[in-house]
Structure 1
Amino acid sequence: MTCTPEALDRVFLQLGPLSIYWYGVIIATGAFLGLLIATRETERLGLKKDYMIDIVVYAIPAAIVFARLYYVIFEWDRYVGGPWWDIFAIWEGGIAIHGALIGSVLTAYLYTKIKGLSFWMIADIAAPSIILGQAIGRWGNFMNQEAHGGPVSESFYNSFMQYLPGFINQQMCIGGTLYHPTFLYESVWNILGFIFLLVLRHKFNPRRGEVFLSYVIWYSFGRFFIEGMRTDSLYLFGEIRTAQFISIILIALAIAVIIYRRKSGMANKYYNGKKVK
């Protein structure tokens, strides 16, 4: 479907030669709100909020490094033979959320082991904040006109997209063609996941570790289907999209861990941080 391009300005603030982009502002906002929620939950459970702040401080650089490394590995043909410094040109785009999650989880695991804390408790505290940060962060992709789907058909526009706020359709009009706002689909899915995890944590007395594992299942399930609509996917081999393959593995692994921890007695019940006998 054709449209008239009216892209929003990617620059949030211009300070002389320094440009501050909306992408960075939105990502930082998501991280801040996530940290705020996580620190409040940490204090509610009787832990020091400094624990969560420390993890975030260490996890952010690790997440960036792993997000870039993940992307470069699966896009190696793009970099081999070229200038080696292109591998580090993160400002030109090219990071992957799965890589960021791997870096963050490894950092949290090492930190909890050093501090003598329960990794699963910290993971449960962080899970709603992570998915909220992802929901907000997708709007950074929106400002950059990236992570979108394929062209929208006339029938889909008439049945759905015409009811979206005008600024969304204008921003998804690229080169005169209207594209699926897959950033929006994932953002909405993640917001629903955020609500689900909060309800799960506060109303259903889940066993330790199962809030985080539920996050893994929820996010991966939605990402699998949304990834199939995107035009910028990384590919494992042939037509196998990397994010879809990883999503299937994560869902299966999370379910297996839940079953194993319950059968082995490792997942004791906790309510508001208190062990239930």
Structure 2
Amino acid sequence: MLAYPDIDPVAVALGPLKVHWYGLMYVIGFVSAWWLGRRRADRLGLKPDDIGDMLFYGALGVVLGGRIGYALFYGLDRFLDNPLWIFQVWDGGMSFHGGLLGVLLAALLFARKHGLAFFQLTDFIAPLVPIGLGAGRIGNFINHELPGRVTDVPWALVFPGMGGQGRHPSSLYQFFLEGVVLFTLLWLISLTPRRRGCVSGLFLIFYGLFRFLSEFFRQPDPQLGFIAFGWLTMGQLLSLPMILAGAGLILWSRRNAVDDARAMPGDTA
């Protein structure tokens, strides 16, 4: 077993002002999406400066959707007892699935504003997302969040305050699958024009599969435990509709023409 790395969750402290690593991970996610999006802005007929507007919509969707989703999916009892708890962001976290719904709503509003087809925009956005997902998992790791299940693998980590047993570093597994692997797949696939809806469908399928798999190594949320069959977690349950929706979207995309997207400089493999 390995000792858990002792990393101060505060990256920078300037008097009373403290910048946490977790917050910086959000910054990394949004900045990387902004930079990559600017490289491909003309694929949507947008100006590079329009990508900042798109990210503003996306940030609102992530934060509002993520927090509301966490309250509904993982803390419904607490929310019903005290609706103001939803604003206590320091107590409880964010839900990816809620954030995804928030981003989809934001994408719908942005698409209408700029005269874009919804799936044309989501195909553009999908490859920009995984870096932020991976960065968020690193933030979870630094904060000792999302502990893994007990194991005796050589790389097991002893999580602070969890009894001295070795556990899977599940947040690192998710960093690799949801961040590194998912980004690589979607970026390479999107280098050439695809049928509208294809990239969005692949994002839903691959994320859903990766999340479903990684949940077998992650400790179930303590307030919920296993919700069915003695092994199914909330994360897995929420990922199943993603996989089905992605498969349906792939089938639908086969009826569409290939989008006439122009490769930007630096987009070649």
Would the aligned equivalents of 1:6 and 1:173 in 2 still touch at CA under 8 Å? no
1:253 and 1:32 map into 2 onto residues whose CA distance is 28
Aligned counterparts, 1:83-102, within 5 A: 83-102=82-101
Quick check: 1:41 aligned with 2:27? no
Residue 186 of structure 1, CA deviation = 1.2
1:5 and 1:117 map into 2 onto residues whose CA distance is 47
**Local SS of the residue matching 1:148:** coil
1:111 and 1:6 map into 2 onto residues whose CA distance is 41
In the other structure, the counterpart of 2:166 is 178
Q: CA RMSD in A?
A: 2.3
In the other structure, the counterpart of 2:137 is 138
2:201 and 2:31 map into 1 onto residues whose CA distance is 23
- 1:222-260, CA deviations, whole angstroms, 9 ceiling, x for partnerless residues? 000112322243569445422212211111112112213
Residue 207 of structure 1, CA deviation = 0.8
In the other structure, the counterpart of 1:165 is none
1:148 and 1:124 map into 2 onto residues whose CA distance is 33
**Which amino acid is the alignment partner of residue 249 of structure 1?**
P
1:86 and 1:137 map into 2 onto residues whose CA distance is 23
In the other structure, the counterpart of 1:109 is 108
Name structure 2 gaps, 5 residues minimum.
264-269
1:52 and 1:78 map into 2 onto residues whose CA distance is 37
Residue 44 of structure 1, CA deviation = 5.4
**Which amino acid is the alignment partner of residue 252 of structure 1?**
L
Quick check: 1:269 aligned with 2:268? no
Please, what TM-score do these two structures have when normalized by structure 1? 0.83
**Which amino acid is the alignment partner of residue 236 of structure 2?**
Q
Quick check: 1:246 aligned with 2:238? yes
Would the aligned equivalents of 1:45 and 1:273 in 2 still touch at CA under 8 Å? no
Aligned counterparts, 1:114-263, within 5 A: 114-153=113-152, 156-157=153-154, 161=155, 169=157, 173-175=159-161, 176-190=164-178, 191-203=180-192, 205-233=193-221, 237-238=227-228, 239=230, 240-263=232-255
**Local SS of the residue matching 2:151:** coil
Aligned counterparts, 1:11-50, within 5 A: 11-43=10-42, 46-50=45-49
Name structure 1 gaps, 5 residues minimum.
163-168
Please, what TM-score do these two structures have when normalized by structure 2? 0.85
Change (3 A) 1:120 1:6: closer
State how many pairs are aligned. 255
- Identity across the alignment (%): 30
Residue 121 of structure 1, CA deviation = 2.1
Would the aligned equivalents of 2:197 and 2:252 in 1 still touch at CA under 8 Å? no
**Which amino acid is the alignment partner of residue 171 of structure 2?**
F
**Local SS of the residue matching 2:6:** coil
The structure carrying a bigger helix percent of its residues is 1
Aligned counterparts, 1:61-76, within 5 A: 61-74=60-73, 75-76=75-76
